[in-house]
């Protein structure tokens, strides 16, 4: 089974 990853850790909040 797979889980959908999220993007939060990839992009820096300015």
Partner 1 sequence: MFEARLAKGAIFKKILEAVKDLLTEASWDCGDMGITLQAMDNAHVSLVSLNLRSDGFDKYRCDRNLTMGMNLGSMSKILKCAGNDDIVTIRAQDNPDTVTFVFESENGEKQSDYEMKLMSLDLEHLQIPETEYACVVKMPAGEFARICRDLSQFGDSIVISCSKQGVKFSASGDIGSANVKLAQSSNVDKEEEAVTIEMQEPVSFTYACRYLNFFTKATPLSAQVKLSMSPEYPLMVEYAIDDIGQIRYFLAPKIED
| Token pair belonging to 8 | 């939060």
Instruction: Give the nearest distance from C-beta 9 to partner 1 in angstroms.
Output: 9
CA 13 from chain centre, in angstroms, equals 13
- CA gap 1, 3 in Å, rounded: 7
Which residues, numbered 1-14, are part of the site for partner 1 (CB under 8 A)? 1-8, 10-14
# residues contacting partner 1 (CB under 8 A): 13
Instruction: Give the nearest distance from C-beta 4 to partner 1 in angstroms.
Output: 6
- CA gap 13, 10 in Å, rounded: 10
Please give the residue ranges that form the binding site for partner 1 (CB under 8 A): 1-8, 10-14
């Amino acid at each position: 089974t797979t889980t959908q990853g999220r993007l939060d850790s990839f992009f820096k909040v300015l």
